[in-house]
Structure 1
């Protein structure tokens, strides 16, 4: 990767990824794009452009003007929001992906887009879910992710586009707010612990889902994109994970820092139904064997860093007010 264009750059993944890419490849080498323009350090640290990813011509023109050799396509409507507006989710997730792939084909760009554990379904093996398995999701987000995996495979086999992807679990970050995913409860819980000392979870106790701390997710994207293509038997997309946890497990880890933190439950039937379709744990053997995937953060290590960073931010915010 030398000149990189990132869509959905102001989202949860994009915010951290753009910052890291600019540190590695140079500020001017990474074009950040998003449908919206808000107060954000991404706009100050390098080139930024408003982009509707479903506009094929605008997508191509932006990548061409930047002289991009790599497209990292993150723009999508996430699981919970997608269920509230399935038609919009399909048009954005698949229309945007088609714009991105067509641009990558026309400009001979390397290409990355994330998939998700939502690409599995109720009939997928729940424990140690394999890399290659039955995928029959019952959510629009999941359907679009399976379709996206297949479409990326098609562009690789049909046109030779160097497509790559990861099936992300729930991602936890201190630097960007949740974006409408089913696993957002984990991010919300940390913030609530710092500011209120309590949290009401919309996901039920005992619901185990795979999670990953954002620094590990960012490292995984870059490691995959820099990997030798000759070693990649799978491309779209690799299972990756760091931990399998339920809400009480996260709460217990938080209590090591905030002993009086309390956790209650008011289950959201829509998001709980989505979570019930997803694996309890997934097998990332293929990613480890084909490109050396690994992680640095387990649950307690992640919690230590999350609590530290959020407390620092809270203190900084209080200082501004006073």
Structure 2
């Protein structure tokens, strides 16, 4: 990667990836884009930023050519719970935007790398729930999951048919202190830290005993960078690699927080929609292919992540003038 265009750069992954790549490649070598351009936003103000609707193919292509990019990281998408509320729009955005991105990569020609993330949502209730393998049946029951399976197949098609250097991972739930949740089923694992510090309690919309794979955002960003820099000849499973760092249920993350904030209390107010989504996903996935093919190695487990999240959020609250109770 030398010159990168990122779509959906204001989202949870995009904002942190943009910051990382600006450090690695230089501010002028990263073109962050999103459909909106808010004021007083570091992603907008600290480097190259352009407004882009990924459903506008001509603008997408023009921007990629104008900046002479060699890598496209396509993150613009509607997430799981939000996609269930607006399934037609989710298909239009998730698949139409992806198709445009792949067409732009094909038009730019040989040597272009393309990344668009998949998700554990690509699995459905028919998959093995524990240590779900890299290659298995995928029958998702959510629109988000459907778009992720279709996206994996489409990226494989563009690699096999046109030689586009497509690469992807199936992300688990991602946990970060920098950007607040944006409509995902696993977002309870971010909300809980905010509420633990603000109110010393949390109402979980996911039921006790519901296991899902998770990853701290630093590991997720490292995974994208490492995969995009990996030797292409080593990659057998381009679209997409299973990756994970930990699997836990709500009561386990609550217990980890309670060890550090003894007065913290967890309650349950289960959302049937998000609970149904969670139950259709694996309890844990097998990521040995990512380890074997590009040396994937996460650094954060539940305990280390809990320490980091609480410490970082306390500092964030102080900076923003908020006071934890």
- TM-score, normalization: structure 2? 0.97
Q: What is the Cα deviation at residue 317 of structure 1? A: 1.9
In structure 2, distance between residues paired with 1:66 and 1:250: 43
Structure 2 segments unaligned to the other structure (5+ residues): none
> Could you tell me which residue of structure 2 aligns to residue 79 of structure 1?
80
> Could you tell me which residue of structure 2 aligns to residue 89 of structure 1?
90
> Could you tell me which residue of structure 1 aligns to residue 116 of structure 2?
113
> Could you tell me which residue of structure 1 aligns to residue 3 of structure 2?
3
Q: Secondary structure at the match of 2:72?
A: strand
For these two proteins, the number of residue pairs brought into alignment is 320
Q: Deviations over 1:238-260 (max 9, x none)?
A: 00000000111111111122111
Q: Deviations over 1:16-52 (max 9, x none)?
A: 0000000000001000000111131011111101100
> Could you tell me which residue of structure 1 aligns to residue 197 of structure 2?
194
In structure 2, distance between residues paired with 1:244 and 1:107: 40
Alignment RMSD? 0.9
> Could you tell me which residue of structure 1 aligns to residue 247 of structure 2?
244
In structure 2, distance between residues paired with 1:110 and 1:184: 30
In structure 1, distance between residues paired with 2:43 and 2:66: 19
1:127 is the counterpart of 2:130: yes
In structure 1, distance between residues paired with 2:135 and 2:99: 24
Structure 1 segments unaligned to the other structure (5+ residues): none
Q: Deviations over 1:43-102 (max 9, x none)?
A: 111110110001110110111111110000000000000000100000000000001000
In structure 2, distance between residues paired with 1:121 and 1:234: 20
In structure 1, distance between residues paired with 2:265 and 2:64: 48
In structure 1, distance between residues paired with 2:20 and 2:313: 19
- TM-score, normalization: structure 1? 0.98
In structure 2, distance between residues paired with 1:128 and 1:246: 15
Q: What is the Cα deviation at residue 319 of structure 1? A: 7.5
1:171 is the counterpart of 2:161: no
In structure 2, distance between residues paired with 1:319 and 1:71: 37
1:37 is the counterpart of 2:37: yes
Distance 1:226 1:268, change over 3 A: same
In structure 1, distance between residues paired with 2:288 and 2:181: 28
1:16 is the counterpart of 2:19: no
1:103 is the counterpart of 2:104: yes
In structure 1, distance between residues paired with 2:48 and 2:155: 27
In structure 2, distance between residues paired with 1:288 and 1:107: 31
1:132-171 equivalences under 5 Å are 132-171=135-174
1:315 is the counterpart of 2:318: yes
> Could you tell me which residue of structure 2 aligns to residue 257 of structure 1?
260
Q: Secondary structure at the match of 1:280?
A: coil
Q: Secondary structure at the match of 1:175?
A: coil
